[in-house]
Amino acid sequence: MMNINDSSSALPSALDDRSPAAAKPADPRYAAKATEAAVKFEAFFISHMLRQMRSGTREMAGEDSVFKDPVNSDMLEMADNLVADKMAGQRAFGIADAILRQLLPAASAPVAAKNAVKTDNIAAPLNKSV
């Protein structure tokens, strides 16, 4: 049985934080591609969330509501995609940052320090020793 706190053999050596590969900074081209992919995924996620929100609004709207009218649905979808791209570019939800922390663990330390959040009232993770 594997203990949740015992990570000595749980991860492959390429993903283990103590491995020499994790200590090296990432290739700049890889880091740029990973950043672009992470931001695009965040944009996709936000766009999908906005699409679902608009769909729910359409379903709940009354028959004579302006939200029920399908005339401007294409333009609203395009506007939602632009808003999602802009929010993802600003990393508003932090999804891209979370992905990059996993893909670029050595390079994310300065980013994490720059965007540090005050954690006075946040509980410690259960799988980490305090």
pLDDT at 24: 58
Asked if pLDDT for residue 50 goes beyond 90, the answer is: yes
Global model pTM greater than 0.85: no
* Residue 100 near residue 108, CB atoms below 8 Å: yes
Percent of the chain with pLDDT over 70: 61
- pLDDT for residue 97 is more than 70: yes
Q: Mean pLDDT across the chain, nearest whole number?
A: 74
Of 91, 13, 69, 81, nearest to 100 by C-alpha is 91
pLDDT at 37: 95
Asked whether the predicted pLDDT for residue 61 surpasses 70, the reply is yes
- CB count in 10 Å sphere of residue 46: 21
Kindly state the average pLDDT of the residues 21-49. 86
